[in-house]
Amino acid sequence: MFKKLFGSSEPKEKKVLPWQPLSDVSQLSTIASKSNTKTQFIFKHSTRCGISSMVMKQFVSAYDLEMNADLYYLDLLSYRDVSNEVGYKFQVMHQSPQLLVIKNGVAVAHASHGGINELDLERFL
């Protein structure tokens, strides 16, 4: 009865996504090139923003590990120049948090804040 009310005291296994760090502007050309054969996701995250952290947790929880896509994580506070270049290269106005879906060298979808978790990512695979 107590487990139903208060939950189990056993720790849940933490889900770990196959993040690739995005930390250099030169990676954007590689992402664009790879997007010709495999969908690329870029998650821009502000490590000092509570909303960004909440959206990130929801994204991690909902992300299907079976998706055939590459997943990049951009700490935009540490790599502001990369964040700026993402906007220029893929013609998307900066927001945080933000998820970009890259296919055939262009952003085919993007969302920010709560809209990130509303995107049907599987339709872009």
Domain extent listing, the chain = 17-118
Q: What pTM, to 2 d.p., does this model score?
A: 0.88
CA distances (Å), origin 37, targets 19, 33, 62, 65: 19, 8, 24, 19
Mean pLDDT by 10 residues, the chain (125 residues): 53 83 98 98 95 94 94 96 96 94 98 94 95
| Whole-number pLDDT of residue 68 | 94
What lies within 8 Å, CB to CB, of 121 at 6+ separation is 41, 63, 64, 67, 69, 101
Q: Regarding the domain delimited by 17-118, which CATH topology (the fold level of the hierarchy) does it fall under?
A: Glutaredoxin (3.40.30)
Q: In the chain, where does DSSP find H-type helix?
A: 2-6, 27-34, 50-62, 80-90
Nearest to 91 by CA among 115, 108, 66, 69: 108
| C-alpha of 107 from chain center | 13
